[in-house]
Amino acid sequence: METLVVKGIPHQEILKAAQSHGIDLIAMGKNNLNLWDRMLLGSTTTKVLRETHVPILTVRQLANAPAVKRILVPSSFSPGDTRSLEFAFELAGRLGASVYLLHIIEAHKSWDKVTGGFMGKLRKVATDKLDSMLQAVLAETRKRVPVFTRVKACRVGSGIVDFVREEDLDLIVMSTHARKFIKPDAAWHARCHCYCENRER
């Protein structure tokens, strides 16, 4: 274990240290800045999330650290999503966890209850794509891991936060492709841990 103490702008120094020391994973806490503080000051964790090319694990500060039993993979059908899903299955297999694969159709939440017409067709296309993603993961990797697919119509960021709360999820796994679509604030606001990896390298 090595300890570094440096002077400078926090997120920039973290990124420099990760690069100069060949770091494989950055682990950071999510502090409790409110919305106004984040608008004025920003967040070191959020800035690192946006700029790093190293996988990052953000850890929510909770009274009791829960076991990871429910893992969410939000998908925008970007190139890196399948690898994120594979990683989630590998992790779930080791932890005895289940996997939730979620796609959100960007729309007002009132559309979430609509199942027919154009929205019904969009749901069918999205569901088929999620099923294709699952089939792309090796059967051996998927073996004995419970998996649930969901398609929701709502705002992407708030939809993920609400889904995490409703399903009592413990961890979000996503790629930077998805992160650009979802935005880091979705991971920030969600009351669970989050693992992000750059799939563009």
Which listed CATH number (3.90.1660.10, 3.40.50.1970, 3.30.70.580, 3.40.50.620) goes with 65-197? 3.40.50.620
Domain boundaries, the chain: 1-61, 65-197
User: One fold for both 1-61 and 65-197?
Assistant: yes
Edge-first strand order for the sheet with 26-30 is 26-30, 56-60, 193-197, 171-175, 70-74, 98-106, 147-154
Q: What is the pLDDT along the chain (201 residues), one digit of tens a residue?
A: 788 888 888 888 988 988 888 888 888 776 655 555 554 445 777 778 778 778 888 777 655 656 889 999 999 898 788 889 999 999 999 999 999 999 999 998 899 988 899 999 999 999 999 999 999 888 888 888 999 999 999 988 888 889 999 999 999 998 765 454 455 555 556 778 888 876 554
pTM of the model: 0.80
Helix axes 117-136, 81-95, angle to 10 degrees: 60
Considering the four listed CATH numbers 3.40.309.10, 2.170.190.11, 3.40.50.620, 3.90.180.10, the one that applies to the domain covering 1-61 is: 3.40.50.620
